[in-house]
Amino acid sequence: MYKYLIYFLAFSFLGWLLEVIYSAVKTGRFINRGLCYGPFCPIYGVGICLSYLLLSGVDSFILLALFSMAIATLVEFLVGLFADRVLGERLWDYSLEGGNILGYVCPRFSVIWGVAIALVIRLVPLLDRLILFLSAPVWYAVFLALFVGVMIDIKLSLLKRERRIKSEI
């Protein structure tokens, strides 16, 4: 369980970093992408952890990428739908992409996420070595505190959006 907590935190942060860099290149300025205040996008942590949990035993890289693509597409669709319909927030929009489904997912990014997650899953053993190095009670406390901080941030971010939605009604 401890290593999945670290995976979630690490990949949520790296996903946020990827989003910020992509936005900065595209717009020329810093934009804090994602649902939360802090430097993380939980969708990345959830998608990669879920894929790793379900697919770590798959040997074929092609099958790993295809199954990862399916998981990432499902997670992205459900999160996009939830954010849009429940929170009233459109976090991304693939409407201009060919083959999109309601603008929440599209083939091009599904393939990109599938290959990227497959690569990450292949690199996880390197992260496991780092986790073994950091397996001391003090690190457990640090990562638990970070995880609690992320959960509080998610809750506060959702509450803010809920209040905004209610004020618009």
Condensed to tens digits (0 to 9), the pLDDT of residues 48-83 reads 999 999 998 999 999 999 999 999 999 999 999 998
Condensed to tens digits (0 to 9), the pLDDT of residues 129-159 reads 777 776 677 777 887 888 888 889 888 887 8
The amino acid sitting at 78 is L
Domain extent at residue 130? 2-168
- Kindly calculate the radius of gyration of the chain based on its CA atoms and give it in whole angstroms: 17
- Distance, CA of 4 to CA of 133 (rounded, Å): 15
Region 9-23 average pLDDT: 90
Q: Is residue 167's pLDDT more than 80?
A: no
- Residue 12 has a CB neighbour count (10 Å cut-off) of 28
- Distance, CA of 36 to CA of 95 (rounded, Å): 23
> What pTM does this model have?
0.81
Region 102-119 average pLDDT: 96
Alpha helices in the chain (DSSP H): 2-27, 42-55, 61-85, 107-133, 137-168
Cα 33–38–39 angle (5° rounding)? 65
Q: Give the pLDDT of residue 134.
A: 67
The amino acid sitting at 159 is L
Per-residue confidence band for 168, with pLDDT thresholds at 50, 70 and 90? low
* CA nearest neighbour of 161 among 91, 104, 102, 77: 91
In percent, how much of the chain has pLDDT > 90?
Answer: 47
Q: Give the pLDDT of residue 132.
A: 73
> Is residue 121 a contact partner of residue 64, using CB atoms and an 8 Å limit?
yes
What is the count of structural domains for the chain? Answer: 1
